[in-house]
């Protein structure tokens, strides 16, 4: 089979590598001069940064993303280390204790902060264990596993269509406590009333907050680990690209695809912006759904209901604004020694998200995170120095200014606010790189940059991997696997397995799919 892959983010790279390993003729097209998309990383003055914080789930031995790396033959080449994140709110912090406090130490800490909510917390954590058991069962095959999955799901069936807002109101009365569990929705730029409630326990996994929390305990299903990639995501990008080259695949950088040719309801070629035509049997596209179907394919080749329901109506995140610093001190002393800390400066998650959706950039007043990749990857900074990223969600196109004219001023403002939590960033600064949504847009070839891809919604679903056009497949963060590195890798694996079985293979159900209409 002759296959073209569009885009060299992790999903495109993974799909190309899997196809090449199966002996297919693969050509990967990347419009940028450097592969990797938003996982390519940045370098300057001896410092290296990832585009944002990249604490990944499912990269431990035996876990889903790790199994994909094993299939590619690179699991031993990509080094990871267990990590955790800290987080704080306007008037309290929830910090990893120096002495391990048990699996549910965070629950007990919240009881101290919200004594009137003790019963609700106990009830929520019973739901938490059930949901994570469902996630574990959804990754298993066989009739028995399927039956156990359905039986375990029955007690929470009535919550299937509950929003995150309804779930939180069911368990907790205090809006501050609700914000503890829904604040992460700021990353998705998704309001609690739109977000599936049963995903809340999944994205608040206890192992995120303490790497000492066991992943197997009490007869429960295995929990996912959370890990950083040593050396940054560039190591993962280069390892997968190495598989493509070793298996005879081609990677063409600086080569943008201008159109996907469709004949008789099937793809038959890709045409570059330079006019070169490559005859193909299949196309795997990563990146934006609207850009692929509207710009490269053309809506005349697609059903109207598909365009309306899954492309034009797709719910995607907004962008991100980042200031990358090289500093000559260790700023982690101000965040309990952690490489990663989220600083939420408002309890009004709804209001902050709505403001971002309207295009108002908050300049850092609603919150930000600080990531120090050189804490677990010393090679990312010169000796005695650290690489630091300060970033926050931001609208792709702000209505209260422009990235071109206001970017530098907004960078100073973001650092000013960040220094209230992490003093000394600018005083110890040795180099700086500012990355705006406009920079991301150019890097990703998107008309509207969505940093996290598609957002899980109760009322909308993104396009499936298999598209209405024969031989055309969609992978990546704007496909049915949503965002996240583990999701994009496993999603590409699923898509390739379907391709190689004639498109008829049944992909294993995930618990996430059980919570959707």
Contact of 425 with 331, CB cutoff 8 Å: yes
Tokens of 185: 């929705």
- Measure the CA–CA gap between 428 and 318, rounded to whole angstroms: 31
Q: Tell me: the pLDDT tens digits for 29-55?
A: 999 999 999 999 999 999 999 998 889
Pick the CATH number of 2-39+230-315+454-514 from 3.30.70.20, 3.50.50.60, 3.40.50.300, 3.30.1240.10: 3.50.50.60
3-state SS assignment for residue 186? helix
The reported pLDDT for the residue numbered 510 is 47
The reported pLDDT for the residue numbered 512 is 47
The reported pLDDT for the residue numbered 427 is 98
Mean local confidence (pLDDT), 488-512: 74
Mean local confidence (pLDDT), 409-427: 98
The reported pLDDT for the residue numbered 504 is 45
- Measure the CA–CA gap between 452 and 449, rounded to whole angstroms: 9
Q: The pTM is what?
A: 0.94
Contact of 25 with 47, CB cutoff 8 Å: no
Q: Tell me: the pLDDT tens digits for 309-360?
A: 999 999 999 999 999 999 999 999 999 999 999 999 999 999 999 999 999 9
Closest by CA position to 22, among listed 71, 66, 76, 65: 71
The reported pLDDT for the residue numbered 405 is 97
**Is the pLDDT confidence value at 505 over 80?**
no
The reported pLDDT for the residue numbered 481 is 86
Region at 215 (left for phi over 0; alpha for psi -120 to 50; beta for the rest): alpha
Q: Tell me: the pLDDT tens digits for 48-99?
A: 999 988 899 999 999 999 999 999 999 999 999 999 999 999 999 999 999 9
**Is the pLDDT confidence value at 376 over 50?**
yes
The beta-carbon contacts of 115-121 under 8 Å, at least 24 apart in sequence, are 116/173, 116/174, 117/172, 117/173, 117/174, 117/177, 120/171, 120/172, 120/173, 120/177, 121/171, 121/172
Mean local confidence (pLDDT), 103-123: 98
Closest by CA position to 288, among listed 477, 459, 438: 477
Residues above pLDDT 90, as percent of the chain:
92
Of 186-200, 224-238, 503-517, which gets the smallest average pLDDT? 503-517
Mean local confidence (pLDDT), 188-196: 94
pLDDT band of 252, cuts 50, 70, 90: very high
DSSP letters along 63-108, please?
Answer: SHHHHHHHHHT-TTTS-EEE---EEEETTEEE---SS---TTHHHH
**Is the pLDDT confidence value at 274 over 90?**
yes
In the predicted model, what is the mean pLDDT of the chain?
A: 94
- Measure the CA–CA gap between 198 and 200, rounded to whole angstroms: 5
pLDDT band of 509, cuts 50, 70, 90: very low
Mean local confidence (pLDDT), 370-387: 97
The reported pLDDT for the residue numbered 186 is 93
Q: Between these two residues, 452 and 293, which has the higher pLDDT value? A: 293
**Is the pLDDT confidence value at 365 over 50?**
yes
- Measure the CA–CA gap between 360 and 380, rounded to whole angstroms: 34
**Is the pLDDT confidence value at 503 over 60?**
no
The reported pLDDT for the residue numbered 136 is 92
Give the helix/strand (H/E) hosting 243: helix 233-246
**Is the pLDDT confidence value at 269 over 70?**
yes
Mean local confidence (pLDDT), 211-225: 96
Dihedral of the CA atoms 408, 410, 416, 420 (nearest 10)?
A: -140
Number of H helices, E strands in the chain: 17, 20
CB atoms within 10 A of CB 219: 6
């Amino acid at each position: 089979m002759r296959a073209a892959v569009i885009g060299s983010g992790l999903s495109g790279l993974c799909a190309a590598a899997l196809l090449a390993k199966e002996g297919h003729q693969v050509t990967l097209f990347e419009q940028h001069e450097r592969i990797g998309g938003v996982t390519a990383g940045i370098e300057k003055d001896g410092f290296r940064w990832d585009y944002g914080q990249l604490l990944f789930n499912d990269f431990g031995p035996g876990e889903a993303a790790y199994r994909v790396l094993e299939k590619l033959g690179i699991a031993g080449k990509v080094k990871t280390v267990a990590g955790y994140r800290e987080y704080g709110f306007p008037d309290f912090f929830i910090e990893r204790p120096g002495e391990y406090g048990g699996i549910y130490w965070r629950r007990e800490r919240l009881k101290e902060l919200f004594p009137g909510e003790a019963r609700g917390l106990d009830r929520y954590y019973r739901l938490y264990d059930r949901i994570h058991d469902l996630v574990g069962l959804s990754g298993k095959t066989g009739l028995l596993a399927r039956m156990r999955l359905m039986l375990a799901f029955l007690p929470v069936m009535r919550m299937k269509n509950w929003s995150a807002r309804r779930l939180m109101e069911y368990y907790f009365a205090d809006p501050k406590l609700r914000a503890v569990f829904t604040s992460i929705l700021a990353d998705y730029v998704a309001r609690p009333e739109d977000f599936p409630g049963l995903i809340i326990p999944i994205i608040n996994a206890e192992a995120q907050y303490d790497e000492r929390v066991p992943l197997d305990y009490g007869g429960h299903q295995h929990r996912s680990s959370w890990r950083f990639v040593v050396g940054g995501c560039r190591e993962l990008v280069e390892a997968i690209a190495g598989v493509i080259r070793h298996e005879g695949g081609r990677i063409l950088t600086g080569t943008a695809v201008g159109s996907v040719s469709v004949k008789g309801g099937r793809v038959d070629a890709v045409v570059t912006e330079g006019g070169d035509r490559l005859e193909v049997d299949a196309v795997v596209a990563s990146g934006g759904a609207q850009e692929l179907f509207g710009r490269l394919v053309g809506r005349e080749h697609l059903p109207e209901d598909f365009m309306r329901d899954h492309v034009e109506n797709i719910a995607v995140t907004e962008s991100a604004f980042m200031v990358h610093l090289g500093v000559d001190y260790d700023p982690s002393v101000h965040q309990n020694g952690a490489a990663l800390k989220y600083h939420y400066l408002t309890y009004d998650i709804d209001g902050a998200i709505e403001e971002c959706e309207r295009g108002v950039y908050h300049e850092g007043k609603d919150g930000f995170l600080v990531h120090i990749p050189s804490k677990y990857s010393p090679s990312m900074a010169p000796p005695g120095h650290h690489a630091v990223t300060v970033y926050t969600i931001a609208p792709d196109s702000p209505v209260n200014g422009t990235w071109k004219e206001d970017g530098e001023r907004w960078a100073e403002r973001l650092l000013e606010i960040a220094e209230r939590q992490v003093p000394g960033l600018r005083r110890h600064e040795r180099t700086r790189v500012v990355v705006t949504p406009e920079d991301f847009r150019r890097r990703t070839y998107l008309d509207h940059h969505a940093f996290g891809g598609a957002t899980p919604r109760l009322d909308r679903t993104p396009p499936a991997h298999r598209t209405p056009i024969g031989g055309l497949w969609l992978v990546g963060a704007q496909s049915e696997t949503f965002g996240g590195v583990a999701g994009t890798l496993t999603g590409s694996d699923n898509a390739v397995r379907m391709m190689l079985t004639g498109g008829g293979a049944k992909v294993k159900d995930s618990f996430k799919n059980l919570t959707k209409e």
